[in-house]
Chain A
């Protein structure tokens, strides 16, 4: 009897091979790629907007930071245009003008 060899008493049970469907990776790709792509697209769009329209981008960023609503932002724009102010950011940065604009 071979002391080092396998015993005949236990016979391992042969496991069934778990095979994934060939469509699963494709599904994953279909889910992640658009999500990432859309995210990158939005990011690039935002960067381009920030680069091409810095004033507008800064105005929006500041408005968001100041928690202004869309209609308040619009009021600020209208006030700046009517008051002959070059940039609506100047209105945002001036509390008195901002008060008048929103009023």
Chain B
């Protein structure tokens, strides 16, 4: 800028002092003056006309300033720069330091007063030249304006204030024009005061200027947030007055205050820009504490329902084409006096940006006071201008937070299930896991099952937890919904996610009676048996006929204690020699609880069955004499042998007979010392179930060898399963005996006291 100034001033000095070459159209003027030679009365020399700037440059300073200032507003394009530069040169003066300014304000002697006179004259002339520049501001070229602005911010602020007080309309318009071009917040008071000017042109110009000043504070926002019109105003480059940025930051408070005052005095000017500016700046996120304090004054205006500005304020909030105001409407939904206008604004969005800016703030709607007002908007239908929420086709154009907000919003405003389903449908195929997670949390139950198959474990887990009937009544197993749910749960037991597999298996247990190992399944079976005994029996028989579910059904029969009812079915299973050996053994165990001749006969037949598991179960369940049991203790299969020993020891407790008990204990010792590992393992199994404080007296002298044998197996045996089983047996025995001794000691103590 300084180089440009020096270059231009060099041209001017050449022109005004040394170079007689005239400016502009001087060359073309000379041939067009025929009267200079031919008219006798016209004796004016051509050179006097052709170089008026040269003559002006030779005038006294005051006259020169006046002449240039009067000529500049209407000067032609080729002359105005020269005139402006001459004025800038006159207007420039030495900037005094604060110390010098303070010294000038002190009392001085006569001599000093006289010596200061030239400086004062120069200063006065410089101010007059600046005023002349200010008057001619509208005719200054864009290249000269930066030079003029560089004369000093405070001087320009003073000049504009003086212009604003000028009685001439053009001067006031020029003051507003300077404020518009510089957008300096220090001029906001001037502009705000001129809002009440008697001339409509001035008021209109002030309206635009104040809005531009306010929008300059928001030029850091993305243009689409301000709307096309306001973004264009905010983007228009301004000619900043030279000053420290910290000073400008403080001057913003002046602008805030001017806008607040202008909004409160709306009745005196009826201009809308203070209202728009107040609405835009009120909740500015980057506001300083001072600005927030002024902002609170603006906020009070929102709740003044009877203020003259309130109706226009509501109108501005509803109809101004600025997406940022839609976000403000969401914030101010809690202010009762303006909530209706805010709801109107929220009910329609005309562009993607308007949707976006509100949806990313959807968390604000979680506040109950906002949520209650928004809850009725689900019934609002879209019109020609737009809709409240974006169409599903716009899903991909929204950002991730906006998509999340859209789902939350859809649930919040009370849309119908069908609408909500359509609204949330794109979330299923969204790229973002967060969006899919929200979809799994908010989608209708009909679509929830799709989320069970999500590749993200967190989403599938959340969907599974929501889909599960844990804590609620599961549908009946034979109902259509129960069937579909069972099918899905069976499918999800093969899910790649462990948690989903677990939930699915638990759900399957709640929906079927096939899994007696699950409490939920047993509960379901009991309910079904009580509610529909015939249906339950039919269902159990169907499953007993299926080899894949036969074992589970026999277990269920035993758990529910309904062996009597399915006696014939169980007998049929036992008698089916080609059937599954495990099922036959289970059926034998179940028939042991049935007191009927047919059952007893079947069990007696089972004692000679070729399958050792069946024989073993028969030995445990069939009522046999002690002699018969002792015969079976020599069976070649370890299961049968262990069952016989266990049964013999257990029977010795109820039917005391020392001989049989000793024989059984001897058989147990033999088993524990058998060289065949399966027999030792089965012997440990029998000892684990036989050794207790109740059988200790029955066992007599055999107790100690059995225990020592177990200890030896726990310490030295090669089979880890056997060691583990023996160890657990010894531990249990130790705990039991310790408890027994403590109980005896407490009883003895109690007897002594009594």
Residues of A within 8 A of B (CB): 50, 54-55, 57-59, 61-62, 65-69, 72, 85-87, 89-90, 92-96, 98-99, 102-103
Contact = CB atoms under 8 A, between A and B. Distances in A.
B76 to A, nearest CB: 7
Contact of B74 (A61, A66, A90): A90
Interface in B18-53: 22, 24-26, 29, 32-33, 35, 42, 44-45, 48-50, 52-53
B55 interface: yes
Contacts of B44: 67-69, 72, 102
Contacts of B42: 102
A66 B49 contact: yes
Contacts of B76: 94, 96
A59, A85, A86, A95: residue with the most chain B Cβ atoms closer than 10 Å: A95
A69 to B, nearest CB: 8
Contact of B49 (A50, A61, A89, A95): A95
Range, interface on chain B: 35 or more
Contacts of B55: 62, 65-66
A103 B42 CA distance: 9
B63 A98 contact: no
Nearest to A61: B63
B35 A93 contact: no
A68 B48 contact: yes
Nearest to A69: B44
A65 B55 CA distance: 6
Contact of A62 (B22, B24, B25, B56): B56
B63 A93 contact: no
Secondary structure class of chain A's binding surface, majority of residues:
helix
B35, B48, B55, B75: residue with the most chain A Cβ atoms closer than 10 Å: B55
Interface stretch (B65-73, B106-114, B412-420): B65-73
B7 interface: no
Nearest to A88: B70
Contacts of A85: 74
Interface of B: 22, 24-26, 29, 32-33, 35, 42, 44-45, 48-50, 52-53, 55-56, 58-60, 62-64, 66-68, 70-71, 73-76, 79, 83
Contact of A89 (B25, B58, B60, B67): B67
Given A54-B66, A99-B33, A102-B42, A65 B59 contact: yes
Contacts of B73: 86, 90
A79 B50 CA distance: 18
B369 to A, nearest CB: 61
A52 B49 CA distance: 28
Contacts of A86: 70, 73-74
Contact of B70 (A55, A72, A95, A103): A55
15 contacts: A50-B63, A54-B63, A58-B59, A58-B63, A61-B67, A62-B67, A67-B45, A87-B70, A87-B71, A93-B71, A93-B83, A95-B26, A95-B29, A95-B52, A98-B49
Secondary structure class of chain B's binding surface, majority of residues:
helix
Given A68-B44, A96-B25, 16 more contacts: A54-B63, A54-B66, A61-B63, A66-B49, A86-B70, A87-B70, A89-B67, A89-B71, A92-B52, A93-B70, A95-B22, A95-B29, A98-B49, A98-B52, A99-B33, A102-B35
A74 to B, nearest CB: 14
B33, B45, B56: residue with the most chain A Cβ atoms closer than 10 Å: B56
Contacts of B22: 95
B351 to A, nearest CB: 48
Contacts of A93: 52-53, 56, 67-68, 70-71, 75, 79, 83
B66 A55 contact: yes
9 pairs of A and B residues whose beta carbons are closest in the complex: A93-B71, A58-B66, A87-B70, A89-B70, A58-B63, A65-B55, A61-B63, A54-B66, A58-B67
Contacts of B35: 102-103
Contacts of B62: 50, 54, 58
B79 A94 contact: yes
Contacts of B63: 50, 54, 57-58, 61-62
B661 to A, nearest CB: 138
A103 B74 CA distance: 21
A66 B66 contact: no
A67 B47 CA distance: 11
Given A67-B44, A93-B56, A99 B71 contact: no
A9 B58 CA distance: 75
B70 A90 contact: yes
A99 B62 CA distance: 26
Contacts of B33: 99
A99 B70 CA distance: 19
A61 B60 contact: yes
A78 to B, nearest CB: 16
